[in-house]
Chains A and B, each alone.
Chain A
Amino acid sequence: AQSVTQLGSHVSVSEGALVLLRCNYSSSVPPYLFWYVQYPNQGLQLLLKYTSAATLVKGINGFEAEFKKSETSFHLTKPSAHMSDAAEYFCAVILGNEKLTFGTGTRLTIIP
């Protein structure tokens, strides 16, 4: 079985501070990992994806994530938070069955 666990359902950071959203996966085979962002009352937008190429993946809006096999992690980071980053973030994993399995989400709040 494969799944993802997001640590921290709510994260608050000050504007300009580092954003770190945690995601750990469990998979018996190399996973395909994704981060999505959801703004209020909207659908999900793909931030970035890991597909076994480079372990450091750069996404949109200044976000990046690093795949660490030894830690089974795929944490999402952004060096400097902006007010517009306030949203809910979902880590997700997919295997050959085409089914995207989501974590429970982390709500990011930016403090002015």
Chain B
Amino acid sequence: NAGVMQNPRHLVRRRGQEARLRCSPMKGHSHVYWYRQLPEEGLKFMVYLQKENIIDESGMPKERFSAEFPKEGPSILRIQQVVRGDSAAYFCASSPGTATLYGYTFGSGTRLTVV
């Protein structure tokens, strides 16, 4: 049973381009969470999704960022018109149900560099 798979591991984008980050949760996990880790900082919650639904997006910047978790396929975090401040590590986590009971399983992250 593979863990949470994120790709790509490293992504370089020029300012103004789009970044698409993918996350395949563990088999049987229907809850997906995205977190961002800025250099020398802890992880900050961005969005919580279940299949085809955004449950909580209170941590998402209001513009340029969007997330989806379609019925089929991986969850996608999309950043349009990237800026240097978007450079960070983006982590995805998944859970089979209530996080208080199961906790999260994290992927290895995607490290986005905006040049």
Contact = CB atoms under 8 A, between A and B. Distances in A.
B106 A43 contact: yes
Contact of A102 (B42, B55, B107): B42
Contacts of B108: 42-43
B12 interface: no
Interface in B81-115: 91, 93, 98-101, 103-109, 111
**Chain A interface residue count: which class?**
20 to 34
A34 to B, nearest CB: 6
Given A95-B100, A98-B31, A99-B48, A90 B42 contact: yes
Contact of B41 (A32, A45, A104): A104
A100 B101 contact: no
B26 to A, nearest CB: 13
B104 to A, nearest CB: 6
A51 interface: yes
A112 interface: no
Contacts of B100: 32, 51, 94-96, 98
B106 A101 contact: no
Interface of B: 4, 6, 31, 33, 35, 41-45, 48, 55-56, 58, 91, 93, 98-101, 103-109, 111
